[in-house]
């Protein structure tokens, strides 16, 4: 098996990729800004009289040229804003990640076993020791973060500490040390920042369009072009993540074996982690940093990690390790809300419902019929507000990809949703029938 620490080509390649990712971030942000300028021209155009003839002759060309001029004017501000975002991510990314995972830094006195294993590995190779963090979770997983030597840290779960032997724990820590040494961590953090920025700007663009209508000729086509650019930027930001070679995990496994001289421990650690690595409170960006990412889709096309079977097979073939097969542990990992299909409590009557007048009930019914017919998010929000409730969108964090949380507060009750679609379907299922039943038999005048 090739030694990961000898793969200087891979390390240099990761350094070049990290720089390319940051350059790509600015390019995608500029594209998003141009899309925003197109939308601004289409939605809020105030056409000068002197340009009326030129606009009438070629409305699309005039709008694109105007948007290009807007982009040039905005370029310094956009560049400064993106650079500021990178600076914030550089200094505060670990705090943001710790806020999501709840991980805390530990000392030798707090976790002597974990600390000693990592220290021995670092001493044996003359590697600066990263910070150690532990997060409370029954899951078995670990990940490394940081952008430079003073920031690097390794986070492990309490479940990993509980179920792995010293040799297996050493292998996992060796795996994460190799990611740090090979530059994988820095490269992945750059990719995470890109997705966070693009998702943030894309969300701003889509939300700014709510209730807006295009002005002038060709406005509809311009809006479609702008939305296509936004969608393209988002897809490219996701593709960037998946374009990062999955070989980094195989190389990290190899680096761990080179450090520990124990392929069997790496294999048995992977087998114990297999199927037990889900961190319910972590978003997809954090899961992509982990030893194993159990979140899969599209028949493994977009997986960020090779399967455990393929990693074990590589270790058995090239390092002479022995595969014991799947290892079942007597634990039950908390599933994500998406997996368990979060069940909302039934909507209950209360005094606010009781006190609505016949006129209000009729207006409620009109809103209810509209949302049932269209299933539009805007109509669902309108019904909630008509009933005196609120809809709050909790924005995704800097290292999030697409996740957001939607809170609906209505009649003294609170309901949370992972997507606008889920919210609308709940409104149609729970709120609309109650509103319509009130129209049939009003409780008060």
Mean pLDDT for the stretch of residues 11-24: 68
pLDDT tens digits for range 27-54: 888 888 888 888 877 776 665 555 555 5
CA distance 304 to 302: 6
pLDDT tens digits for range 366-421: 888 888 887 788 888 888 888 888 888 765 544 443 445 788 888 777 888 877 77
List 168, 176, 274, 381, catalytic entry: 176
User: What's the whole-number average pLDDT of the chain?
Assistant: 77
Q: End-to-end CA distance of the chain, in Å? A: 81
* Whether 4 contacts 258, CB under 8 Å: yes
Q: Which residues contact 213 (CB under 8 A, 6 or more apart)?
A: 43
Query: Which two tokens mark 197?
Result: 């920025």
Q: Is 154 helix (H, G, I), strand (E, B) or coil?
A: strand
Q: In the prediction, which pLDDT does 205 show?
A: 65
Closest CA to 237 of 28, 19, 16, 15: 28
Q: Is 149 tagged catalytic? A: no
Q: In the prediction, which pLDDT does 93 show?
A: 80
- Give the CA dihedral 214, 373, 376, 386, nearest 10 degrees: 100
pLDDT tens digits for range 132-191: 999 999 899 999 998 888 889 999 999 999 999 999 999 999 999 998 988 888 777 777
């Amino acid at each position: 098996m090739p030694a990961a620490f000898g793969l200087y080509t891979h390390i240099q390649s990761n350094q070049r990729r990290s720089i390319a990712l940051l350059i790509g971030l600015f390019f995608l942000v500029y594209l998003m800004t141009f899309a925003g300028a197109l939308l601004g021209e289409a939605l809020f155009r105030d056409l000068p009289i002197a340009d009326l003839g030129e606009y009438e002759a070629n409305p699309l060309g005039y709008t694109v040229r105007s948007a290009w001029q807007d982009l040039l004017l905005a370029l310094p501000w956009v560049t400064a804003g993106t650079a500021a975002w990178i600076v914030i991510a550089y200094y505060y990314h670990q705090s943001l990640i710790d806020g999501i995972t709840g991980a805390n830094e530990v000392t030798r006195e707090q976790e002597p076993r974990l600390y000693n294993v990592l220290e021995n590995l670092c001493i044996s190779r003359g590697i600066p020791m990263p910070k150690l963090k532990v997060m409370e979770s029954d899951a078995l997983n670990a990940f490394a973060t940081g952008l430079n030597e003073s920031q690097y840290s390794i986070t492990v779960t309490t479940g990993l500490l509980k179920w792995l032997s010293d040799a297996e724990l050493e292998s996992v820590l060796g795996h994460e040390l190799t990611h740090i040494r090979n530059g994988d961590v820095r490269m992945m953090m750059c990719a995470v920042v890109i997705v966070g920025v693009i998702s943030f700007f894309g969300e701003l663009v889509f939300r700014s369009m709510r209730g807006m209508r295009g002005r002038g000729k060709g406005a509809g086509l311009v809006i479609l072009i702008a939305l296509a650019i936004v969608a393209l930027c988002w897809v490219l930001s996701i593709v960037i993540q998946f374009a990062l070679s999955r070989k980094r995990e195989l190389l990290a496994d190899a680096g761990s074996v080179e450090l520990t001289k124990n392929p069997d421990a790496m294999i048995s650690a992977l087998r114990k982690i297999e199927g037990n690595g889900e961190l319910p409170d972590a978003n997809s960006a954090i899961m992509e940093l982990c030893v194993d990412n159990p979140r899969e889709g599209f028949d493994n096309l977009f997986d960020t990690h090779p399967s455990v079977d393929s990693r074990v097979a590589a270790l058995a073939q090239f390092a002479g390790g022995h595969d014991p097969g799947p290892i079942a542990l007597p634990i039950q990992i908390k599933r994500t809300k998406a997996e368990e299909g979060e069940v909302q409590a039934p909507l209950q009557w209360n005094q606010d419902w009781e006190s609505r007048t016949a006129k209000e009930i009729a207006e409620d019914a009109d809103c209810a019929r509209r949302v049932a017919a269209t299933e539009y998010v805007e109509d669902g929000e309108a019904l909630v507000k008509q009933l005196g409730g609120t809809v709050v969108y909790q924005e995704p964090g800097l290292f999030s990809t697409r996740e957001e949380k939607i809170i609906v507060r209505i009649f003294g009750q609170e309901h949370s949703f992972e997507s606008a679609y889920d919210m609308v379907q709940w409104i149609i299922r729970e709120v609309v029938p109650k509103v319509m039943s009130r129209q049939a038999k009003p409780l008060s005048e």
